[in-house]
Structure formats: C-alpha cells, structure tokens
Structure 1
Amino acid sequence: MPLPEGMSVRELSEVLGRLLAGFEALRTVLEPVDDPEQLVLAGGELDVRICDRMSAAPAMAVLRRPFTPAELPIRALVLRDGPLRTLLLECSHLAADLAGMRVIERAIRQSWEPAGTRPARAEARQPVDQALVEHEDAQRRRASAALDYWVRTLGRVPQAMFALPRPQAGEARLWHAELRSRALALGADAVARRCRVSRSAALLTAMAALVGLYTGNDTCVVASLSGNRSEPRLQDYVGTLVQDALMELPVRGETFDELVRRCWPAILDAYRHGRFDAAELWRRVGGVGERRGTHFFRDFAFNDQRDDAGSDGAATAGESALRWLDTQSQGETFVFDVHRLDEDVAEVSLRADGRLLPRELVEALLTGMERLIVDAATRDVPMPEVPAVTGIRPLRRGPEWLMIDSCWVDVTEVRQLLLDLPGVLDAEIATVPSGAPELHARVVVASAGPTPASLREACLARLPDRPAAMVPSRYTVVPGPR
C-alpha cells in the first residue's frame, strides 16, 4: 500500500507497533514441541526491511519464503526512492485469511488519519476469545449440525463434477481466464432483483448450470469459501475463519429463474453449515467414502472475493473483455472467482486444469455464462434453450460410462483401478442387474493374492486421483493359473 507523503521511519514503526498490539494473531507463534501450542507474545520486535525500489528483488525473495511456526506470522518491507513510498506486508495464513488482511489494511489506513477523525471501532474479538466461544454449547451444537449436513449431502451427490477420462501423466497446465464485463454486471443485477437473490448467486447458478449441462449432472456440487464473519464482533477479526461451504445446487429445471430461486436457499443453507471442526469433518467425509466406495474430489470451487467495504470506483465500465493470465497451478481442477460485481462492472475469472478441460471450453464457459445472464436480464430463459444461447453442449459419453449412485463412472477406469493392484492378474466389471445399479468385479488373483476385503481397501486408497472410477461393491475372487 502507498505510504503518506513525508512519513518517517519512526512514524511507520509506531503504526506497525500499534497494529501488533491491537491484533494478537500477529504476535502468536507455535512452540516447536511434539504437541505444539499457540503462544501469544506480550512483546517482541518486528524487523522492517527498507530498501530502494530499484534493488528490491533480494528483499522481495525473503518476503516470499515460507513461514516457520516459531516466527512472527507477519513480515514487512518498505520501498523507497528517497522518501518512503510503499509498504508491503505478508502474513501467514495461520494468522489471517483474506478478510483478515483487509482488516489489517483498513486499520493501517485509519491510523494515518488525524486522531480526531478516525472512525470509532468496536473492540474486535481475539483468537483466544474466539476459541473460548467455539467451545460454548451453542457453538458446539452448530458445529455438530454442520458435520451432519456434510455427511448427509456427500452421501447422495456426485463424488466429482468433472468425472472425465483420466489425463495423461505429466506437468499440470492451468488455464486462467479473466472476464471483465459491464453487460454481465447489469444482467446479474436484473436477475437478482427479479428473483430476490444476490448478484453473485445469479452468476454462480449460471456457471453451475453450464457445468451441469456439459458434464451431464442433475446436481452441481460446489465448495465455496465461507468467511464466517456474520457476527458483529467478527467484522474486524484478524485470524483465519474461512472454511468450506458445501453447496448442493440443482441444475435441472424448466427455466433459469426456477434454478436461481431453487439454488438460493441451497446456497444460504451451505453457508449456515460452513463452520466446523476440520479434523472431525475430514474423518467423517472419509467414512462416507468408505461406505459409498467414492472419494470427495472437491473439484468445483467458488470464491466470492469482493471486499464488503465496496468498490473504490477506480475501474471504468466498458465493453466485455477477456484476457488470459499466466498462473502457476496449485492442483486446482475448476475454480470460479468473483473479483468485482457492482452496478458498473463485473470482474470474474476461471482457473481450470488444462489436462482435463481444453482452453476453448474454459473460454466458452465464461462467455456462455455472460450470454446466459445477459439474456436472462430481460426474460426467463427456458432451460432447453441454454445450449443455443451459450454454445455449451453435453459431453458425449460412450457405452463404457454408467450413472451409478449419482456418479458418472467409466467401467474401463474401474477395471484399470483393479489391474493396478499388486497380485491382480485380470479383472472384469459388470453391473448387478437387480435394484439400483452396483458394480460387481470378477478378479483373477495370484495364488497368494488379495481377498475381497483387501481389494476394496486398496481400491479406496487409490481412488483420489481417479474421478471417473468407483470402488466396486461386490467381488468374486478367482485364483489364477498355478
């Protein structure tokens, strides 16, 4: 952030000192013992590096290195070209999420204002206080209800939205496209007003509908980052509160307005169940996978990154523009981000695994979403018209693809899953004809080969990188030739 004209090193030091004094998360470390404990430091020092703008590369490299648990979770670098010009801060994610970083930025900017003009700010809750609150009975019940919600939902939804042929081994390639559009902003506002939902919900419903159309799913499973800051005393909280909200969005209906109105309560319900004990959650998620023979891939993520403080008005509205960004893959499959969405302009982006989704499809999903929202601004679009409106059409699947327990499954992938196991000589996959479809595996094994129980366990362990596979529910083990 730019520094005020004429700010001295001493004045900046006082600002940073007040910052650390006011937010305990910024002076919390983990003691390096077998069972780490958080320690809030009563005092200490923060090294602030000051360097010339033209020779800042070495200092920038230090700023970007990983944090260690025992060091302060904040670093500061000041750039100068004579006077002090720019302050750069980096925080460990253990100390602050994106909303927490925005609180830090606001606190610094307010500290530059004259004392009599600074806005009154309610005392923010500190992380230790938040931990005590989370142990209260009401909060424990809320967390328990969230776990139950996740288990119920994951027990019936697709394990993967992008159950596609497994990509070839190799370095991940990420497609990252950003769309900036005034028409999208105006359309989202019109749909939101007519359907009485938020603008971002209108955009998310449109993107979910297109993903469901392309992949052939009736339900779109979305992991959305939940800020968990609805309580007044958490508005100025510095810490990490963000967790996943699991959305089960219906994407089949007569009209787009119908989808928007049905998705809205599902979105709100997901956010209500977005605070939980993370360790316990993943233990129970694993239990769901063991029972179903599936794995939760979390392959469609959504992040509404808008600053609740509102737009600064610096951007100007214009025609739609799409650009491609050079971004390093972090292992994501499909991430839809909303960066700005107001009356003037919408700025959204898609990040997608290039081994699964071609560049042309990523662009088509972004521009198709825009066309759907723009069309929906003036009419309730019938869902059968969406392919013609957007250019998105269903993926063609061959006879090897089956819909089993709401999941698209490629039986050739299931067979390969078994063939990759030690001791397996051959495998055949069939569906059980009676009742709901189930996978039955006939497995030829070596003389001292695996049992049905060990086969199932081994398949579950190898499922996380195979979204088009599912663990068979029945096994017939046949000894191979001696």
Structure 2
Amino acid sequence: MRKVPITLEGHRDASAPLTWPQRRTWRGSRLKHRLCRVIPLPAGVTLDQVRGALQWAYQEFEALRTTFPTDADGVPCQKVEARGEIDISVLESGEDCVEADVDAVAQVFRRELHDPAVDPPVLFAVVVVGERPAYLVTAASHLALDALGFRVLRNALNDYLLLGAWKRPKGSSLQPIDRARYEQSPTGQEKNSVALAYWQKVLAACPHRDELSRAATMDSPAVRAAVAVLAKQRKVSTSIVYLAAVAVITGALTRRSAASFRAAASNRRDARERYCVGELVQFMPGLIEELDAPFTEIIKGAWEASIRGFRFSHYDEEALQEIFRELDGVELDFAYNDSRSAGQDSPVENSGDDLNCMDATRIEPVRGAFRTDSRFLSVIVRDGAGKEGAVLGVVVHDAYFLEIRVEQVLLALEALIVGAARGEAEPAEHPLRFTRAFLGERTDR
C-alpha cells in the first residue's frame, strides 16, 4: 500500500478530561486493536475526491484526530490539535481479487497495535480497482467512535462525495471535548447525581454474582418472524420484544416475578448528539417489576423500563464503579445489548410466514464466553450473516443453573416468543409459568 498525506487545518487546539463513556471504554480497551469497517464508495468518484472528503472529515470531526495522553499519575485526558498531517493508505486491486484485498487490509489494521497517547484513533485505506476507488476501509478506536458515531461518519462522507457538503440539520454537531466540558459543569454534575441515585435504587434489591459462564448462539427464522409480529402488534421496536422475553427467562430461572437489567444506551437525544462523531454509549439500569402477567403486559413493562432507564444513562462511570464497590458485588440480573440498533439503519426481521420454521433453528456453543457485569444472564442481539437478520447470543453466569444447559435457555426463548406470536394461550397469557414448565421439562430429560 502506498501512503497519501493529508494536511489538517482544524478549528482549535483543545484538551479536556475523558467523557464518561470514554472512561468506561478506557477501563477495558485502552490499548486494544482498532475496530474495522468497510464502506462501499459511490460510483464515479475519483481518488482526489475521496482524499478531499477524508481531509474534510478529519477537520470537521475532532474525534478523528484526538489523542489520549496520560499524566504522571496515569490519568488520561483527550487532546485535539488544530494542525497536523496524517497519511491515508491506497491499495491498487483488481476485479478478481478486490474482496480478498479488502479483507487483507482490514486484517492489517486489526493486527496493528494502537497507542492512544500518540497514534491517530481513526485510519483509512482506499482500495482502488483500475482507476475507480471502490472501498474505504476504516479502523477506529472505540475511544473515538461508537457504532452510531461511525454511522454518522459514513453518512457524512457519502453526502460529501455525492453532494459536496454534509446534509444535516442546521447547527454544529457535538464534539467530544464539548461533551466533557458539559459533564464537568454544574448542570452536568446535577444530571450525574440524579442518574446515580436511580442506579442505587435499582441496585438495592439485586443479588451477588459468582464466576461460571456457559455460552451459545441461536439463529432462528421462527424467532425473527415472531418478534416482528409482536412488535407490529404492540407498536414497539423488535428490541423491546427481545428484552421482554429475556426478562421472562430470567424470572423463570431465578423463580422471581421481577427482573433488573443493564442495557446499552446510545445517549443520542438531540440533533447535536445524534450527529456526533464520537463515543457516547453508556449503560442504563432497568427494572421490569411484574413478570407474572400476560406477555403483552410484559412487553409494555419492558418499554416503560427502557424509557425510564434512558433518562439515567448519562453519568460519571467512576462514581458508578464506586457505588458497586460499596455494595460489595451486587449486580443486576441480566445484561442486554441489541447491537443491531447501532449497526444498521432499520433492523430487518423476517415475515410471519416463517413462524412455523422452528426446524430451521441452529444453536451453536460458544467458547470464550463474553463477560458482562450481570448476575445471571448476558444476552446480545446481533446481525446475522448476509440478510439472515438477528442472531441471539446468551451467556449463563453462576453455578445456580448447572442442571439447565445453555442451549435449553435459548430453546425456551424460542418457544416463548413463537408461542406468544401464534396466540397460544399459555405462552401468551402465562409466559412465566409456561417458561418455568418448559425449562423444568427439559431439565428432567
């Protein structure tokens, strides 16, 4: 790959403490590899146009040129310099090998160690086929970009290449430096106090955690179709339906009629935040107070808990960790992350015609289970391969449910969701009782 230099002329030199979301990322990912994504480029653009668009993006979005040095005590901050120079990579490819070349560039970016104190957080490589720029490979530190921030960047680059300007609402987008300064202001500190008080309220009734995990994933066309049916009926997102079902499973396993959870929150409320290229994601606390109810009511409870929790999803991460330390191991019942919300513009589910396709379900065990700070379960909803839609991943924590295989937990989720969508009396009207019986039957075999 050859290098093409870009000279940067930004608006300001600035520094600030890490934002609260960046502090969470710093604890777990400060020296990890960058995350890679591939952007197909519009037809008809030239290499000079792509270079100009990237120069504009580096200058427009401070997150792309922010470094994260530490002081003598190891405390990080974020630093933006107005002027500088950065190289983009250009790889000449051919029609018969372009996909392999794109994968190879992504692998190079993934293997390259990233030192946030000195290295640019976001890198670009242009893959050219003949004279035509075909793909833009991006590599970004999570300190700089969350998935929604990447979507903003992708859309802005497409606008710039096609229209010569970024098509967005009037006014400036939020910059991470400004978010950090807001968080240190009296208004930000008041918001933090309110959010932490709600976290403490939810945590008050939570149990402690042990340290065993088993994991598996499920690809079920029937579940995708059933979730789409229920979401349409109840006028909620598919994510809320999945959340409600996981809460029922948790209640069935723990023999309780309530479930607490933590879920990823985008923290993009107004236009400035929605168009922010940066890391804003934090976790929100939630409590679904009544699981011994019809599934439609549990869906409503999941929606209300999510709306309530989203109000308290912006807070000082270090202060929250102090609360957890004071509570000595107390944790929420389950962790929930619908990564589709960040990865695509509108999650696509299958049609109701697939409700009877339970024979097509594929369940696979997962080695090296992902850990989250939850007591019993961790669940992730992610995009499937190609156009297959959502795949459910579940991790069962602790030693309480050793008699229940992790695959059985996923089958219980499928039976509950599909049964409720079909209108079957027991899963629709008595989902908690149905799920307890389903897991009990599977345990006895």
What TM-score, normalized to structure 2?
A: 0.73
- Quote the residue 1:43 is aligned against: 83
1:329 and 1:121, CA in 2 relative to 1: closer, same or farther beyond 3 A?
farther
Q: CA offsets, 1:246-271, max 9 Å, x none?
A: 11222432432333333433222211
1:383 to 427, 430, 441: 430
Mapping of residues 170-319 of structure 1, within 5 Å: 174-180=215-221, 181-190=224-233, 192-193=234-235, 198-289=237-328, 294-296=329-331, 299-303=334-338, 305-306=340-341, 310-311=345-346, 319=354
8 A contact 1:255–1:382 mirrored in 2: yes
In the alignment, the residues of structure 1 paired with residue 333 and residue 153 of structure 2 have an alpha-carbon distance, to the nearest angstrom, of: 30
In the alignment, the residues of structure 1 paired with residue 216 and residue 259 of structure 2 have an alpha-carbon distance, to the nearest angstrom, of: 21
1:59 to 105, 120, 142: 105
- Quote the residue 1:122 is aligned against: 171
Q: What percentage of aligned pairs have identical amino acids?
A: 22
1:233 and 1:43, CA in 2 relative to 1: closer, same or farther beyond 3 A?
same
Displacement, 1:50?
2.3
1:284 and 1:117, CA in 2 relative to 1: closer, same or farther beyond 3 A?
closer
- Quote the residue 1:347 is aligned against: 390
Task: Give the stretch that moved more between structures: 110-119 or 176-185.
Answer: 110-119
Displacement, 1:97?
0.8
- Quote the residue 1:370 is aligned against: 417
Gapped regions of structure 1 (runs ≥ 5) = 398-482
Q: CA offsets, 1:215-264, max 9 Å, x none?
A: 32332221100111112211101111111111122243243233333343
In the alignment, the residues of structure 2 paired with residue 277 and residue 119 of structure 1 have an alpha-carbon distance, to the nearest angstrom, of: 30
In the alignment, the residues of structure 2 paired with residue 14 and residue 259 of structure 1 have an alpha-carbon distance, to the nearest angstrom, of: 51
8 A contact 1:28–1:38 mirrored in 2: yes
In the alignment, the residues of structure 2 paired with residue 377 and residue 123 of structure 1 have an alpha-carbon distance, to the nearest angstrom, of: 51
- Quote the residue 1:151 is aligned against: 200
1:377 and 1:305, CA in 2 relative to 1: closer, same or farther beyond 3 A?
farther
In the alignment, the residues of structure 2 paired with residue 314 and residue 220 of structure 1 have an alpha-carbon distance, to the nearest angstrom, of: 26
1:254 and 1:373, CA in 2 relative to 1: closer, same or farther beyond 3 A?
closer
8 A contact 1:127–1:239 mirrored in 2: yes
In the alignment, the residues of structure 2 paired with residue 152 and residue 117 of structure 1 have an alpha-carbon distance, to the nearest angstrom, of: 43
Q: Per the alignment, in what secondary structure is the counterpart of residue 262 of structure 2?
A: strand
User: Structure 1 counterpart of 2:146, which letter?
Assistant: D
1:104 to 153, 157, 181: 153
1:296 and 1:210, CA in 2 relative to 1: closer, same or farther beyond 3 A?
closer
Mapping of residues 370-449 of structure 1, within 5 Å: 370-375=417-422, 381-383=428-430, 386-387=433-434, 391-393=438-440
Task: Give the stretch that moved more between structures: 28-37 or 92-101.
Answer: 28-37
Q: Per the alignment, in what secondary structure is the counterpart of residue 99 of structure 1?
A: helix
1:46 and 1:316, CA in 2 relative to 1: closer, same or farther beyond 3 A?
farther
Displacement, 1:395?
9.3
8 A contact 2:172–2:272 mirrored in 1: yes
Q: CA offsets, 1:72-94, max 9 Å, x none?
A: 10011222342321111121111
1:56 and 1:132, CA in 2 relative to 1: closer, same or farther beyond 3 A?
closer
User: Structure 1 counterpart of 2:65, which letter?
Assistant: R
- Quote the residue 2:408 is aligned against: 361
User: Structure 2 counterpart of 1:3, which letter?
Assistant: L
User: Structure 1 counterpart of 2:288, which letter?
Assistant: L
Q: CA offsets, 1:353-399, max 9 Å, x none?
A: 599663532430341242244045999932267527983449989xx
What TM-score, normalized to structure 1?
A: 0.68
User: Structure 1 counterpart of 2:428, which letter?
Assistant: V
- Quote the residue 1:461 is aligned against: none
Displacement, 1:115?
3.5
In the alignment, the residues of structure 2 paired with residue 372 and residue 318 of structure 1 have an alpha-carbon distance, to the nearest angstrom, of: 14
- Quote the residue 1:76 is aligned against: 124
Asked if 1:337 is matched to 2:337, the reply is no
1:199 and 1:376, CA in 2 relative to 1: closer, same or farther beyond 3 A?
farther
In the alignment, the residues of structure 2 paired with residue 360 and residue 226 of structure 1 have an alpha-carbon distance, to the nearest angstrom, of: 28
1:158 and 1:368, CA in 2 relative to 1: closer, same or farther beyond 3 A?
farther
In the alignment, the residues of structure 1 paired with residue 165 and residue 279 of structure 2 have an alpha-carbon distance, to the nearest angstrom, of: 31
Task: Give the stretch that moved more between structures: 102-111 or 76-85.
Answer: 76-85
Greater CA radius of gyration, 1 or 2? 1
Q: Count how many residue pairs are aligned between Structure 1 and Structure 2.
A: 379
8 A contact 2:292–2:431 mirrored in 1: no
Q: Per the alignment, in what secondary structure is the counterpart of residue 286 of structure 1?
A: helix
Q: Per the alignment, in what secondary structure is the counterpart of residue 217 of structure 1?
A: coil
8 A contact 1:367–1:390 mirrored in 2: no
User: Structure 1 counterpart of 2:216, which letter?
Assistant: W
In the alignment, the residues of structure 2 paired with residue 363 and residue 18 of structure 1 have an alpha-carbon distance, to the nearest angstrom, of: 47
Q: CA offsets, 1:317-355, max 9 Å, x none?
A: 862553457786433574433457xxx996342232599
Structure having the higher helix fraction is 2
In the alignment, the residues of structure 2 paired with residue 328 and residue 295 of structure 1 have an alpha-carbon distance, to the nearest angstrom, of: 24
In the alignment, the residues of structure 1 paired with residue 128 and residue 351 of structure 2 have an alpha-carbon distance, to the nearest angstrom, of: 30
- Quote the residue 2:13 is aligned against: none
User: Structure 2 counterpart of 1:213, which letter?
Assistant: A
User: Structure 1 counterpart of 2:79, which letter?
Assistant: L
In the alignment, the residues of structure 1 paired with residue 341 and residue 306 of structure 2 have an alpha-carbon distance, to the nearest angstrom, of: 17
8 A contact 2:409–2:439 mirrored in 1: no
